[in-house]
Amino acid sequence: MTRPPRSTSRQDRRRESEKLILQAAEKVFAEAGFGGATMQLIADVAGLPKANLHYYFPTKEALYRQVVENIFQNWLKAADIFDAAPGPVEGIGAYIDAKMEISRRHPDGSKVWASEVMHGAPVIQDYLETTLVDWTQGRMEVIRRWIEEGRMDPVDPRHLLYMLWATTQHYADFSHQIETLNGGDPLSEQQWSAAKASVKAIILKGIGARPSNEG
Amino acid sequence: MTRPPRSTSRQDRRRESEKLILQAAEKVFAEAGFGGATMQLIADVAGLPKANLHYYFPTKEALYRQVVENIFQNWLKAADIFDAAPGPVEGIGAYIDAKMEISRRHPDGSKVWASEVMHGAPVIQDYLETTLVDWTQGRMEVIRRWIEEGRMDPVDPRHLLYMLWATTQHYADFSHQIETLNGGDPLSEQQWSAAKASVKAIILKGIGARPSNEG
DNA sequence: CCACAATCTGACCAACCGGTCAAGAATTTT
DNA sequence: AAAATTCTTGACCGGTTGGTCAGATTGTGG
């Protein structure tokens, strides 16, 4: 009797375990890099025996690949805002807000992504060549349209995108440096707001963005 | 007789070997990260036996530390331009040019630096807390002065500096992504010029920089 | 309730890595 | 020229790592 309380089904447990491992892996990969991370440390962070990791993910590379792919999906999601907007003030402004929020909430993911690209994108080169190229061209088209409509200055869309990526992701990738320059403390709520406002103000003014409903 | 042609003195050879090792190390650390780099691979790239590396640099950490410290010194050098300028148009403009040039000529160094900071600055935390903090405060003072003199908008100097660092270093740290988005080719001379011009135009306009000799 | 499949895990292994060392080669000093 | 010092290098070593595996455990379908 005392039927053991089957709190979770097998499928649920599998999903939970995989999620647990992926979260631990993201943290460890972010802190130590792919080469510096060890399966043992990831296992310890996840609170599971090392052999269990290899049951769900056959190799360290497979686990790493899954982490990077998840991050990439998240990365793309922030882009939807771009299209739905009538003009650069709303579109780029919201995009900056969204990416700054990602930098704040998921700095580990941003770091893993940066590390992957910095080392030549050994595992997601195909994504860069297909999905990212398509995405980039789509947004460049949007920017060109805004320029044609006179909603902003004729800046090079490509370098504008690079500037947006660089500036927003900097707050995640270099969070340690920023903390050190902030007296060792993480940015406060107000400081994050100021950061977002500064970035938006400089870039939007820099590209001569004009509000949609002209007065 | 036939005194062996002592083409180089012992000191010269030592300096040459150290330089050779440091260059190889910078490249390998940039490509593989600290954890992924191996002394054997660095030795191969340098064209020396592994044991020889340990003669000049006792440990992998010592070699890495030397690489990072050299990069940091280079990093600081680009700052002199900042002070000598009469206003933001010249100062920040020249600073962007200088840092973009570093990104172009020494992308490996920038990557090693980014990697070091991303992983919590394990070996140069003391530099961040002393030299970098001092340097940053000095430049923020310069920017505040420019603001007081009415040479630019009252932007937050800290976030302006972050934006300058992020944008310029992005071209080195994410060079692989940029190449992929450029059809697989490195940026041409013209494309580098366009990149510099775009960054300068957007930022200088974004902060409302006004030329020194007002008309 | 039982057979079967899925999950879990401690123990183990081959490969690799940073680092050592002794012995020799080259160069400078005496 | 010989003694002393600096440099070079192949061979080696202990420790760690990614990955394996057999057997125990747990959940599931009949």
Interface test with A, best of B72, B100, B158, B202 (most A CBs within 10 A): B202
The predicted structure's pLDDT at residue B191: 98
Give the relative orientation of helices A10-36 and A39-46 as an angle to the nearest 10 degrees.
140
The domains located in chain A, with CATH, are 10-58 (1.10.10.60), 68-206 (1.10.357.10)
The predicted structure's pLDDT at residue B1: 32
With a cut of 70, which residues of chain B have pLDDT below it?
1-8, 213-215
With a cut of 70, which residues of chain A have pLDDT below it?
1-8, 213-215
The predicted structure's pLDDT at residue B122: 95
Q: Is the CB of residue B181 less than 8 Å away from at least one CB of chain A? A: yes
- A-B CB pairs within 8 A amount to 176
The answer, yes or no, to whether ipTM is higher than 0.90 is yes
Pairwise CA distance, residues B150 & B158, whole Å: 18
- Dump pLDDT digits (tens) for A79-101: 888 888 999 999 999 999 999 99
Residue of B nearest to A193 (CA): B159
Measured in angstroms, what separates residue B40's CA from nucleotide D4's C1'? 32
Q: Is the CB of residue B125 less than 8 Å away from at least one CB of chain A? A: yes
Q: Which residue approaches D5 most closely, CA to C1'?
A: B10
Q: Is the CB of residue A188 less than 8 Å away from at least one CB of chain B? A: no
> Count of alpha carbons within 13 Å of A184, Cβ hemisphere only?
4
Do you know the residue count of chain A?
Answer: 215
Give the relative orientation of helices B133-148 and B157-173 as an angle to the nearest 10 degrees.
120
Give residues 102 to 121 of B whose Cβ lies within 8 Å of A: 111, 114-115, 117-121
User: Who's near B113: CB < 8 A, 6+ residues apart?
Assistant: B68, B71, B72, B75
The Cα of B36 is separated from the nearest Cα of chain A by a number of Å equal to: 4
Nearest nucleotide, C1' to the C-alpha of A8? D27
Closest CA to B112 of A170, A118, A162, A181: A118
Do you know the residue count of chain B?
Answer: 215
What's B119-163 look like in SS3? CCCCCCHHHHHHHHHHHHHHHHHHHHHHHHCCCCCCCCHHHHHHH
Long-range contacts of the stretch A41-48 (C-beta < 8 A, 24+): A46/A20, A46/A21, A47/A20, A48/A17, A48/A20, A48/A21
